[in-house]
Structure 1
Amino acid sequence: MSVLQLSTENYQNVAIRDIKLGMFVVAVTKQKGDIHFKPGMVSSEATCRSLQSMGVLEVKIDLSRSKHQQETLLENPESNLAPEEQEQEILTTTEKTELRKRAQKLYAEAKVLQTKLLNALKNGEVVDIAPIEAMADEMVDSIFKNPDAMVFLSRIREKDTYLMEHSLNVGMLLANFGRFLKLSRQTIKELLVGGLLHDTGKIMVPDEILHKPGRLTVDEFAIMKKHVEFSVQFLDKSEGISKIVRTVAANHHERLDGLGYPRGLKGLELCLISRISTIVDVFDALTADRCYKKGMQATQAFRILLQGGGTQFDETLVKKFIKCMGIHPTGSLVKLKTGKLALVVESNDSAPLQPVVKIIYSTTGKHYLDVKVIDLAKTPTEEIESAVDPKEYGIDIQKFY
């Protein structure tokens, strides 16, 4: 199987009225009368009209061989940018609770799978990515049903598990951003898989460099940068890897100004997938605790992304990412002006500064409070003063999820 060949899941039935230039048609699925059809690319409007005149009602296309979506995502960075987030289904409290439990279970299973993957690579074993793709399918379903749950889980980190959790979180955040941009479900799944696999090459970097507490020397950084090459080599040896998955791994350290690595791509050389991968990877890295630095709050990371907008990062996409995440992302701990600490549990698209929060602690009395969930948009007496680090108060936010 070719490295660009995808599973049968990448076939899609399309009504003839929705046919687009660049689609690769493999079969006619609905028709009027007998039709002699030869598979191929829809290369002109005349071809579209010809199919209609022949009585074709519906066709099956091969997404892996079609160019209509790949060219849009991998060549034109300005396309497919939805102006607003799609509407979310209104869920009951019980439904939200069940979805949170399901998200937690999926996240735990994904961590186990990711650990097995990294261990297999360390041992030089042949890796089957089919389980990764199956897990990605379930996670995408969860993200569509309740994106807040998965974003919350990406904020919960354990000590000494950076490589595994960073890849998992980048995958989830990429998928959530793709949902926000209204990309296709297949593309969102590939973004998630790309995030899961984008840093696999780091297992080839010596631990003394990977976990060095101080600044890397020029020679050490040159070795560190090779992890991108190692990741791409791993993907190229694996079957069923799409262009999107490979692009996430190959380009997440490139920058608009050409000062990134490994190829120094710049400007229009960076496609939409490359640009969003860069933003998400940097955001998660900035907010993560490392052995040599403390992770910053999301609001600080947003500020750095905005400062790099137009030079290092795509400014339009940075703003969309912040809107997607919310000024105070779910999983953030905030201090209210009344002195209470509250955990952000749901975003509020119409009022980004007024999310739904769970009040848990009093900074004035220095004690825990009876847990109370409030919608700040409907509670004028409470207002966010600032984001805070849970470690400052010894709070384990996972216990309150």
Structure 2
Amino acid sequence: MKYDPNQSIQIPIQDLTVGMFVTAIENNKRVNLANAGRVSHQASIEQLIERGIQFAWVDVALSEKGCQFPKPKPVQQSFDSTLMASTSSASTAESAEPHHPVESKTRRLFSRDANQKRATKVIGEARKLAKKLLSQTFDSKPLQLDELNQWADELIDSVMVDPDALHCVSALRNKDTYLLEHSVNVACLLVTFGKYLELDTQTLKQLAIGGIVHDIGKIKVDNDILHKPSKLTPQEFEHMKLHQVFAQDMLKSIKGLGPISRDVCLMHHEKMDGTGYPFGLSGEQLPLHGRMSSIVDIYDALTADRCYKKAMSSAEAFKVLLSLTPHHLDKELVYKFINCIGVYPVGSVVELSDQRLGIVWVSNAHEPLKPEVKCFYSTKYTRFTEVTYVDLKKVPLTIGRAISPTGLNIDMSPFYHV
């Protein structure tokens, strides 16, 4: 079911509760959210109150059952479908009047800055958690679910508020910490994909946790094989496949781990034709979340630098995913994944038709070939340029090609920050 902002009711922010589906917020003007969704925990409500938000607009039909709604007040404002903003800035509601382009841009960047700082915190905490999990597993210590649950809630909030900020932060990679970053990125992509497929909050939470633990068995794989800078021999590959066998035992030590999280971990190497491992499941034996995990795991691995290969561009990775359908991957789901993260995903590097290089900064769901790009380099003159934000909806430029972040010998990392 899709939400219709016209069907939303206005309630005082103090009456907002966990489980309600929020479509807009209001201080003195209504601001419709670009990423509407259910409130996942009380901390999100407290943040809105602290930022001076007075009212929330909620869709009763899409809210969880059992939510108690006060009698709605008469609506005196018309719905403006072009008025969108995020909840992460105290000035969000004020940015609803873009009379001055420069001022509007400044306000939007301020909001993105706040969201990106929050995303950086969420990603940082996730990497620490992943490292802690691997360490505890290596030492055969029981794993606790409490910290993972809390982090999963924060991740879901970030995806609901500003997925662009989250994916821009997660796009910064370091091949020396691949195992940690891969687990975190798979978690982020699974939640984003799950939101796109309109899965409920509890399922999103299990997807996030499943992503974090999905490669847990690799801690027991021989280090020389795990980090071998060349193709594995058949014997070495058989040993690598054992990480899924190891994972089955490890997951038993995580008390309270949900079945979806377990499936994400144990099914991300299964294939539609039954030739995958560890169980050789096929077709209908593979649930939706199992099929999702295979797609996301392969995509993130392809777009990362590894000890034995350079990262692919998103466009190259999409071609590989499509080539693996329908025998290995669910074809319909692969197309949905590409639509979800965009032909040019946020955080990917592209070259414009005027030979400027930039990072895809803001997605455009309605026109995916025309995102906003943060330009900082000229491939024509091989030099850095003044940073400019180019909205391809408003200029006669196009994206010429997608480029792997390691395709050029320049340090792009500073430009991933606002």
Query: TM-score interval w.r.t. the shorter chain?
Result: 0.7 to 0.9
CA contact (8 A) 1:331 1:397 kept: no
For the pair 1:230 / 2:225, whether they are aligned, the reply is no
Residue 144 of structure 1, CA deviation: 0.7
Aligned residue for 2:219?
203
Map 1:359-398 onto structure 2 (within 5 A). 359-380=375-396, 382-398=397-413
Counterpart AA for 1:393 = L
Aligned residue for 2:119?
103
Aligned residue for 2:297?
281
Deviations, residues 335-379 of structure 1 (Å, cap 9, x unaligned) = 111111111011111111111111101112221111111210111
Distance in 1 between residues matched to 2:143 and 2:277, nearest whole Å: 26
For the pair 1:333 / 2:349, whether they are aligned, the reply is yes
Aligned residue for 1:114?
130
Residue 232 of structure 1, CA deviation: 2.2
Distance in 1 between residues matched to 2:241 and 2:153, nearest whole Å: 31
For the pair 1:344 / 2:360, whether they are aligned, the reply is yes
Counterpart AA for 1:374 = V
Partner of residue 319 from structure 1, selected from 335, 350, 354 = 335
Aligned residue for 2:228?
212
3-state SS of 1:391 partner: coil
Distance 1:88 1:391, change over 3 A: farther
Map 1:110-259 onto structure 2 (within 5 A). 110-259=126-275
Distance 1:59 1:326, change over 3 A: closer
TM-score (norm 1): 0.76
Residue 285 of structure 1, CA deviation: 1.0
Counterpart AA for 1:389 = S
Distance in 2 between residues matched to 1:393 and 1:308, nearest whole Å: 28
Residue 88 of structure 1, CA deviation: 11
CA contact (8 A) 1:335 1:386 kept: yes
Aligned residue for 2:370?
354
| % identical equivalent positions | 43
For the pair 1:297 / 2:297, whether they are aligned, the reply is no
Residue 148 of structure 1, CA deviation: 1.2
Aligned length: 320
Aligned residue for 1:8?
none
Distance 1:89 1:276, change over 3 A: farther
Distance 1:97 1:345, change over 3 A: same
3-state SS of 2:176 partner: coil
Distance in 1 between residues matched to 2:309 and 2:365, nearest whole Å: 32
Counterpart AA for 1:211 = H
Aligned residue for 1:41?
none
Distance in 2 between residues matched to 1:334 and 1:201, nearest whole Å: 35
Distance in 2 between residues matched to 1:196 and 1:315, nearest whole Å: 25
What value does the CA root-mean-square deviation take over the aligned residues? 2.0
CA contact (8 A) 1:334 1:388 kept: yes
Task: Provide structure 2 residue ranges, at least 5 long, that are not aligned to the other structure.
Answer: 1-17, 21-64, 68-81, 87-94, 96-107
Aligned residue for 1:36?
none
Residue 235 of structure 1, CA deviation: 1.3
3-state SS of 1:386 partner: strand
Distance in 2 between residues matched to 1:273 and 1:109, nearest whole Å: 24
Deviations, residues 142-189 of structure 1 (Å, cap 9, x unaligned) = 011011122222321113111111111100000100011010011111
Residue 13 of structure 1, CA deviation: 8.9
3-state SS of 2:393 partner: helix
Aligned residue for 1:270?
286
3-state SS of 1:343 partner: strand
Most deviating of 261-270 and 126-135: 126-135
Distance in 1 between residues matched to 2:221 and 2:83, nearest whole Å: 42
3-state SS of 1:390 partner: coil
Distance in 1 between residues matched to 2:294 and 2:408, nearest whole Å: 32
3-state SS of 2:361 partner: strand
Deviations, residues 246-266 of structure 1 (Å, cap 9, x unaligned) = 000111000001111111111
CA contact (8 A) 1:156 1:397 kept: no
Distance in 2 between residues matched to 1:236 and 1:269, nearest whole Å: 22
